[in-house]
Amino acid sequence: MSFDACAALVERADPERFRAAMAAPVAARRVLFSLYAFNVEVARAPWVTEEPMIAEMRLQWWRDALEEIAGGGQPRRHEVVDALAGVLDGDGARLLDELVAARRWDVYKDVFEDAAHFDDYIDATSGHLMWTAARLLGQADEAVVRDFAYGVGVANLFRAIPDLEERGRKPLVDGSGAAVTALAEKTTARLEAARRQRQSVSAEAGAALYAGYLGRPVLRQVLKDPSKVARGALGLPPLAERVRFLNVALRGWWR
């Protein structure tokens, strides 16, 4: 029942990752839906209230649950926690704890301290999630997965910038056109480096990377026209997105 609840939650709140999980082998879906449902819960925790203290408490609840899973005892009862406890090991629980800690930035309206702080945030939120999923599914080179996850994480952030700014957040260290282009170039370089090393990620682990199917086309759009970031004009038309997804699901995450 906890697995079904996780799948339903992801389907409602994160349709791109739901689609990616459904394209994975049946055995992999238990891992992916558990992790993606956890990510939904944590990612939305800072946004369900205007009270920072309440948002912090919600995030701490998840940190406490992960500590219980890492300890190997009986964790608190919750559909997503039940599912996580069935697939997660101690290393994974500790990485996801760092993911939750990084989400504290979403609670407040502070700017990133510098580029290194921004990179740490992307690596913790996108990288930890994708690497944990890949590691639990099969053999993979961590650096390759993290390079790909960085590309996907920045692409997703680019798509979210208009909404984040409307909510009073400052999602980029420097939002100028030149800085956006430089970030897109740096991000594309890491994503392309991962694609060149695709042989170091097994087919089983590669299912965790399907969720990044829009990363490459979005980054290409930013490089072609950085103003699309501020205008909220990134992404593919529905038919083109379906074709893109099918290409990735049938031929591999590196497409």
Q: Which pair of structure tokens corresponds to residue 121?
A: 């945030």
* Domain-wise residue ranges, the chain: 1-108, 113-255
Tell me which residue of 209, 233, 211 sits closest to 222, measured CA to CA.
Answer: 233
pLDDT, residue 73, reads 80
Q: Is 60 exposed, middle or buried (0-12, 13-18, 19+ CB in 10 A)?
A: middle
Any idea what DSSP says for residue 140?
Answer: B
pLDDT, residue 1, reads 64
pLDDT, residue 153, reads 98
Render pLDDT for 186-242 as a digit per residue (tens, 0 to 9): 999 999 999 999 999 999 999 999 999 999 999 999 999 999 999 999 999 999 999
Tell me which residue of 29, 23, 24 sits closest to 8, measured CA to CA.
Answer: 29
3-class SS letters over 12-27: HHCHHHHHHHHHCCHH
Exposed e or buried b per residue across 2-37, where buried means at least 16 C-beta atoms within 10 angstroms of its C-beta: bbebbbebbbebbebbbbbbbbbeeebbbbbbbbbb
Q: How far is CA 84 from the centre of its chain?
A: 16
Render pLDDT for 3-43 as a digit per residue (tens, 0 to 9): 999 999 999 999 999 999 999 999 999 999 999 999 999 99
Phi, psi of 140 (to 5 degrees): -165, 150
The mean per-residue pLDDT over the stretch 154-174 comes to: 95
pLDDT, residue 163, reads 95
Render pLDDT for 127-153 as a digit per residue (tens, 0 to 9): 999 999 999 999 999 999 999 999 999
pLDDT, residue 225, reads 97
Contact 3, 34 (CB under 8 A): yes
Whether pTM exceeds 0.85: yes
Phi, psi of 232 (to 5 degrees): 65, 35
Residue type, 166: E
Render pLDDT for 46-92 as a digit per residue (tens, 0 to 9): 999 889 999 999 999 999 999 999 998 889 999 999 999 999 999 99
